[in-house]
Structure 1
């Protein structure tokens, strides 16, 4: 239960924190754009079974692969993709913490 709370707390809280700290004048818009990063979880539909409680998403699903993560980091360097890139990186951080918590 604690792992669940940490995982989803990071998924929703980290983008909110980023939006409030760095995009004060339009934090709601920034937060919504960063939440759109949840779209990368659609790659879970390609797995069989779709959900497995003890499966680490990082480098298992195509949109959670190391190659995709490099693209998400590169998105941070361009104005047009920065917010979505931040959301994607925050999503990967949340999933990475979840993978870490599975191991302890």
Structure 2
């Protein structure tokens, strides 16, 4: 329950704070851009099953692959357009959020293994 709350709070609430830090005068526009980066999850539709709570997105889905993440990081580093950089920030933060979820899920499995 807490894991799900933290995951979606990162996806929807924390990005508002990122938008505010990035462009305080255009916080709502920035927030909408960051929300749009959630479309990266469209690659979940290609998986069978579409949703598997025990599956780690990082490294499994096309737009969550190591190569895709590298592209997001390189875009942030080398592209100077502030809106493209914001998109890359959103994508990188999305991957961090999903990675936290993977670690948390594996930690729970680790804990269950040693506690029971």
TM-score by length of 2: 0.85
**Which has more helix, going by share of residues?**
2
- Tell which deviates more after alignment, 21-30 or 70-79: 70-79
Q: Which residue of 2 aligns with 1:30?
A: 30
SS at match of 1:76: helix
Shift of 1:14: 2.5
- Tell which deviates more after alignment, 30-39 or 9-18: 9-18
1:82 equivalent to 2:100? Answer: no
Question: 1:101 pairs with 90, 100, 104, which one?
Answer: 104
Shift of 1:21: 1.5
Residues 58-77 of structure 1 mapped to structure 2, 5 A cutoff: 58-77=58-77
User: Distance between the aligned counterparts of 2:95 and 2:35, measured in 1?
Assistant: 12
Structure 1: gaps spanning 5 or more residues:
none
Superposition RMSD in Å: 1.0
Q: Which has the larger radius of gyration?
A: 2
Shift of 1:57: 0.1
SS at match of 1:59: coil
User: Distance between the aligned counterparts of 2:14 and 2:75, measured in 1?
Assistant: 18
Higher relative contact order (CA 8 A, sep 6+): 1
Structure 2: gaps spanning 5 or more residues:
108-116
Shift of 1:17: 1.2
User: Distance between the aligned counterparts of 1:54 and 1:26, measured in 2?
Assistant: 38
Runs of 4+ in structure 1 off by over 4 angstroms are: none
Q: Which residue of 2 aligns with 1:6?
A: 6
